[in-house]
């Protein structure tokens, strides 16, 4: 057994991770994942050690609640066999390793650039010469969309190969949003700068990424969060989930031209994000989550205020949702549109909503529990069909579930622990992994420190990193006019992917 099993948010010494040669590392990781539906790769990355590259693989097991970490040292001049040739869930991780370090995989199905990072190995690869798939035929045509889209959204390029109105193939080129954020985590030495960066990873998941960073940092420093801190984080995570899901329901209505749903869900998002502002001074909760402290304690007065807001919000939300889910003209656009099968979701290692909509039970809140989720007895909502309708239903039901959790939480607001403990510096030569279920799905951050206890590597993975491929698969054989509703029903992050 050349791996070490650890728990979510656990810090270990780098030297505790067993190292093997690439062949053994390859066989073991293949064995760990293949045939095990309860396991998937949560992170797989490399960093430079002299002229070599050290690879670290993190495989999470949802039943034993453990994460299996293994490592190996490779030289970039040596060609490697790719795990992706056998298991597609490693596909993007290996492309990223190839792009960043120039490691060549001999049997990778498509070794294409991921995000054109500023520090990529091969600078001759530029945005303009992305190697798109092409099919030579007089019957087919290509449609290119983006990077700038018609609405106010982030940039990305979509290349469709169509037969008439029908999409045969979609390829998504990303990287336009690349800001070098992982490198900035190393360069900015101050904790507040890093916490601010974590909130800027993607501005729609401020609480999700902020909390994940806080977990990594607290674990590296041996800090144990008090109950009131965990309460605030759980509360903020669920409020963020409600706000974005409601906004997405509005977006879905917009994309099928259902004006009433679009306006009503759109305005129902406002009381939730305005509450986040009443609590922490920012509508998207920037500044709310900080490592080691309860920046804005949740007071009993806020609990009363939130209850008032929810008492008005809930019936209005349910009234509109009931209408939408009984509207045959809307359902006919949602049902059997943009299907991803359960087999495909397993195969590509989909996470979060993109997994749960196909019946694949992946939810970090249960499998690698943190904060107050074990007390809430969280039970993930699953859908079976993998279509737009499943994704819309999932959102509606998750909003109701989160409302319940928040009502449970505000019934018992923990007293604020006034004493602020001082941070120890991070442990030297250590590794920490943290998983948090953001509203999109599994967020994973890994922090590595050097001999002096300075951060030497910070690896961020947004759930979108896995799920963009699910979107590309979902639109096959659909009409191109259904692409917007498919895209909105996933609502994946560009900045979280491009970093």
Residues that bind another protein (CB under 8 A): 116-119, 127-128, 147-148, 150-155, 175-181, 183-184, 187-188, 190, 192-193, 196-197, 200-204, 206, 247, 260, 263-264, 266-267, 270, 274-275, 277-284, 286-287, 295, 316, 319-320, 323, 493-495, 498
CB 479 within 8 A of CB 167: yes
The pairing of strands 66-75 and 19-20 is parallel
As beta bridge partners, residue 172 has 158
CB 339 within 8 A of CB 470: no
Q: How far is the CB of 13 from another protein (least distance, A)?
A: 30
| DSSP per position, 326-381 | T-HHHHHHHTTSS---HHHHHHHT--THHHHTTT----HHHHT--TTHHHHT----
Residue placing its CB nearer to another protein in the complex, 227 or 286 = 286
Nearer to another protein, 40 or 440 (CB): 440
For another protein, the closer of residues 168 and 302 by Cβ is 302
Structure-token match 């403990």, residue found:
421
Minimum CB–partner distance for residue 337 and another protein (Å): 23
| Closer residue to another protein, CB minimum distance, 50 or 151 | 151
Nearest distance, CB of residue 178 and another protein, angstroms: 5
Token code pair at residue 108 = 């990778």
The C-alpha torsion from 457 through 460 and 466 to 471, rounded to 10°, is -140
Phi, psi of 319 (to 5 degrees): -60, -45
Helix%, strand%, coil% for the chain, nearest 5: 45, 15, 40
Q: Which is nearer to another protein, 278 or 375 (CB)?
A: 278
Residue placing its CB nearer to another protein in the complex, 243 or 351: 243
**Closest distance between another protein and the C-beta of residue 463, in Å?**
14
Nearest distance from residue 45's CB to another protein, in Å?
18
* Cross-sheet strand order for the sheet of 141-145: 141-145, 157-163, 166-173
Name residue, tokens 């049997």: 107
CB of 422 to another protein, least distance (A): 15
Q: Which is nearer to another protein, 316 or 400 (CB)?
A: 316
Minimum distance, C-beta of residue 149 to another protein, in the bound complex (Å): 8
């Amino acid at each position: 057994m050349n791996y070490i099993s650890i728990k979510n948010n656990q810090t270990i010494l780098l030297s505790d991770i067993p190292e093997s040669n690439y062949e053994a590392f390859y066989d073991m990781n293949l064995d760990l994942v293949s045939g095990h539906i309860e396991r998937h790769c949560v992170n797989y990355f490399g960093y430079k050690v002299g002229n070599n590259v050290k690879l670290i693989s993190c495989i999470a097991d949802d039943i034993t609640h453990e994460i299996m970490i293994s490592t190996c040292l490779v030289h970039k001049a040596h060609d490697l066999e790719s795990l992706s040739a056998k298991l597609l869930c490693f596909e993007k991780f290996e492309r990223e390793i190839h792009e960043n370090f120039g490691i060549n995989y001999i049997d990778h199905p498509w070794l294409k650039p991921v995000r054109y990072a500023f520090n990529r190995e091969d600078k001759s690869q530029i945005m303009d010469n992305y190697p798109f798939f092409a099919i030579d035929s007089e019957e087919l045509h290509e449609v290119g969309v983006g990077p700038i889209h018609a609405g106010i959204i982030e940039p990305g390029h979509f290349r469709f190969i169509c037969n008439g109105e029908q999409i045969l193939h979609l390829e998504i080129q990303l990287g336009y949003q690349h800001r070098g954020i992982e490198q900035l985590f190393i360069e900015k030495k101050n904790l507040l700068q890093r916490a601010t960066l974590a909130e800027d990873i993607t501005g729609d998941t401020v609480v999700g990424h902020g909390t994940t960073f806080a977990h990594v940092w607290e674990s590296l420093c041996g800090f144990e969060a008090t109950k009131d801190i965990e309460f605030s984080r759980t509360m903020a995570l669920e409020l963020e989930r409600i706000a974005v899901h409601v906004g997405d329901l509005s977006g879905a209505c917009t994309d099928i031209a259902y004006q009433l749903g679009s306006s009503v869900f759109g305005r129902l998002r406002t009381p939730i994000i305005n509450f986040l502002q009443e609590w922490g001074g920012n509508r998207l909760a920037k500044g709310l989550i900080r490592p080691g402290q309860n920046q804005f304690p949740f007071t009993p007065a806020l609990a009363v205020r939130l209850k008032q807001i929810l008492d008005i919000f809930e019936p209005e939300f349910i009234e509109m949702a009931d209408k939408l889910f009984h509207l045959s003209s809307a359902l006919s656009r949602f049902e059997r549109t943009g299907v991803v099968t359960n087999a495909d979701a397993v195969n590509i290692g989909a996470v979060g909503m993109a997994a749960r909509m196909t019946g694949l039970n992946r939810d970090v809140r249960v499998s690698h529990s943190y904060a107050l989720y074990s007390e809430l007895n969280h039970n993930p909502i699953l859908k079976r069909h993998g279509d737009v309708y499943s994704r819309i239903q999932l959102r509606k039901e998750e909003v109701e579930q989160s409302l319940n959790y928040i009502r449970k939480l505000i019934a018992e607001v923990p007293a604020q622990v006034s004493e602020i403990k001082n941070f120890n510096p991070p442990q030297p030569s250590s590794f920490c992994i943290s998983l948090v279920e953001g509203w999109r799905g599994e967020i994973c951050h890994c922090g590595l420190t050097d001999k002096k206890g300075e951060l030497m590597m910070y690896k961020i993975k947004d759930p979108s990193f896995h799920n963009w491929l699910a979107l590309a698969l979902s639109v096959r054989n659909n009409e191109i006019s259904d692409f917007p509703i498919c895209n909105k029903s996933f609502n994946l992050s560009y900045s979280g992917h491009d970093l």
